[in-house]
Copies of this chain bind each other. A is one copy, B any other.
Amino acid sequence: MDSRHPVPGVPLSVLAARTGAELVASEKNAGAIVIDRVATLDGADSGAIAFLSNPKYRSRLASTRASAVIVSVADAEATPLPKLVTKDPYAAYARIAAMFNPPPAVVPGVHPTAAIASSASVAASALIGPHVAIGERAAIGERAQIHAGCVIGDDCNIGEDCVLHPRVVMYARSVIGPRSIVHSGVVIGADGFGMAEHEGRWLKIPQLGRVVIGADVEIGANTTIDRGALGDTVIEDDVKLDNLIQIGHNCRIGAHTAIAGCAGIAGSTRIGRNCKIGGAAMINGHIEIADGTIVSAASGIAESITDPGVYTGAFPSLPHRDWKHMVSVMRQLRALVQRVRALERRHEGEG
């Protein structure tokens, strides 16, 4: 339940030094300009620094009232404003935005309404919010924040400096590494979808593995990660998951991979390192996706990918009437192939 506390202003020269960017300005004293906040090109005014990263917004450089801007080398000529020139304006912006908006100070302690098992171990520097429940033998690391309504199962382990926003659930034996952030409504370690069909009924397969999450992971709101059936479900370091994602049992998501919202990864699939999976992409179970693969939004991946690259499978949207025509013609495709073949035969006969 944080509120950001803005910090005092910082000279532009200091921002340049902190980000490794080059300060470029026509005025001599531009390095002394005091910046005290970040803003969009459109929303900025005096005292603010804005950035241009998406070329779609380049035209806004001309009209911005920012005191300075962060731009790439390619865009450096496009504005007379004092500027930080860097090969990666978005990363520089990230650092400056973080400087001006440090996370709120946390007052350690356990809220009196929390229900903590006697055998649990909670670091003295941790924050435990209202109505939190923590199970037997669970361990909460230094400076970890477990916000209101979280439920931490028996034998869970939460690393130092983790932040669990309100109403996260971790089932028993789940593990999460240091500095990870988990947003509200996330469910970690629920049973995987495993059952055997037997004489017209479903037999439940006990889900005996764990969920093991690395360091510096961020997990978006209402995402679900199922525990392994026998082995573990593993989310490696620096993985970033958006909202409403489903990760099936026994998956492994490689380090530094990012997955956008509404995606689904079926069970026992391994996604490599440094992959980018688009929103609402659906990845089949029991397959492997090579390191560095990019899957476009709304694409379904049915088979393993061994050759990294960009993969796409979305149906193009059209005005409804055009779509109906296209689908209608698609249904005639086999007949069309035969008609072309017949024409070819006729030509061959003639030839």
In the complex with contacts A171-B165, A244-B246, A261-B266 CB distance below 8 A: yes
B238 touches A264 (CB 8 A): no
A151 touches B133 (CB 8 A): no
B171 touches A149 (CB 8 A): no
Chain B binder among A25-33, A36-44, A72-80: A36-44
A296 and B111 alpha carbons, distance in the complex (Å): 48
B260 touches A153 (CB 8 A): no
Q: Is A69 engaged at the interface, CB distance under 8 Å to the other chain?
A: no
A167 touches B169 (CB 8 A): yes
B248 touches A193 (CB 8 A): no
Residues 273-311 (chain A) with a chain B CB within 8 angstroms: 274, 279-280, 282, 284, 286, 295-302, 309-311
In the complex with contacts A94-B196, A195-B94, A313-B302 CB distance below 8 A: no
A171 touches B184 (CB 8 A): yes
Q: Is A158 engaged at the interface, CB distance under 8 Å to the other chain?
A: no
Closest to A324 in B: B312
A187 touches B222 (CB 8 A): yes
Closest to A347 in B: B346
A198 and B93 alpha carbons, distance in the complex (Å): 12
A299 and B111 alpha carbons, distance in the complex (Å): 46
A316 and B172 alpha carbons, distance in the complex (Å): 39
A330 touches B332 (CB 8 A): no
A317 and B200 alpha carbons, distance in the complex (Å): 27
Nearest-Cβ distance from residue A188 to partner chain B, whole angstroms: 9
A282 touches B297 (CB 8 A): yes
Residues 224-265 (chain A) with a chain B CB within 8 angstroms: 224, 226, 230-231, 238, 240, 242-244, 246, 248, 256, 258, 260-262, 264
A115 touches B131 (CB 8 A): yes
A88 and B205 alpha carbons, distance in the complex (Å): 13
B204 touches A94 (CB 8 A): yes
Most buried by B among A169, A314, A332, A346: A169
A280 touches B264 (CB 8 A): yes
Residue numbers in B under 8 Å from A302 (CB-CB): 297, 314, 316-317
A334 and B326 alpha carbons, distance in the complex (Å): 7
B309 touches A319 (CB 8 A): yes
A224 touches B221 (CB 8 A): yes
Q: Can you name 5 A-B residue pairings with CB atoms under 8 Å? A: A3-B173, A113-B113, A185-B185, A300-B317, A330-B333
Which of A's residues lie within 8 Å of B, judged by CB? 1-4, 38-40, 43, 54, 56, 88, 90-91, 93-95, 97-98, 101, 111, 113, 115, 129-131, 133, 135-136, 147-149, 151-155, 165-167, 169, 171-173, 181, 183-185, 187, 190-191, 193, 195-198, 200-206, 208, 216, 218, 220-222, 224, 226, 230-231, 238, 240, 242-244, 246, 248, 256, 258, 260-262, 264, 266, 274, 279-280, 282, 284, 286, 295-302, 309-320, 323-327, 329-334, 336-337, 339-340, 343-344, 346-347
